Amino acid sequence: MKRRLMALIGAIALCSASSAQSGGVLPPDPPQGFAGLWSHPYLTGMEPPASGPGPVLNLSRRPDGRANFGRLVGNWKNPILKPQAAQVVKGFGDLSLKGAGYETPSNQCWPGGVPYVFWDFLLDFVPSKDHITFVYRHGQEMRFIRLNSQHPAHVTPSWYGDSIGHYEGADTLVVDTVGIKHGPYAMLDMYGTPFSDRLHIVERYQLVPYSEAADSIARNDHENTHAGGGWDFDPKYRGKVLRLTFTVDDPDEFTTPWTGTITYRPSIDPWPELICSENPHWFTMESESHIPTATKPDF
Mean pLDDT in residue range 18-31:
46
As a whole number of angstroms, the distance between CA 89 and CA 73 comes to 8
C-alpha torsion angle, residues 90, 93, 98, 103 (rounded to 10): 120
Please tell me the predicted confidence (pLDDT) of residue 181: 94
Q: Is the pLDDT of residue 179 over 60?
A: yes
Is the dihedral angle over the CA atoms 58, 60, 62, 64 positive or is it negative?
positive
User: Which pLDDT score, from 0 to 100, does residue 222 have?
Assistant: 93
> Which conformational region is residue 122 in: left (phi greater than 0), alpha (psi within -120 to 50 degrees), or beta?
beta
Least confident of 23-37, 131-145, 183-197, 267-281: 23-37
Residue 280 has pLDDT above 80, yes or no: no
Mean pLDDT for 104-111 is 86
Tell me the average pLDDT across 46-66. 94
* pLDDT, position 107: 83
Q: How confident is the model at residue 234 (pLDDT cuts 50, 70, 90)?
A: very high
pLDDT score of 106: 86
CA-closest candidate to residue 172, choices 196, 199, 203: 203
Tell me what the mean pLDDT of segment 166-174 comes to. Answer: 93
Q: How far is CA 44 from CA 70, 119, 158, in A?
A: 10, 6, 24
- As a whole number, the mean pLDDT across the chain is 86
pTM: 0.84
- Whether residue 219 is predicted with pLDDT greater than 50 in this model: the reply is yes
Burial call 51-75: b when 16+ CB within 10 Å, e when fewer: eebbbbbbbbeeeeebbbbebbbbb
Q: Is the pLDDT assigned to residue 16 strictly greater than 50? A: no
Residue 28 has pLDDT above 50, yes or no: no
The stretch 49-78 carries a mean pLDDT of 95
Burial class (CB in 10 A: 0-12, 13-18, 19+), 30: buried
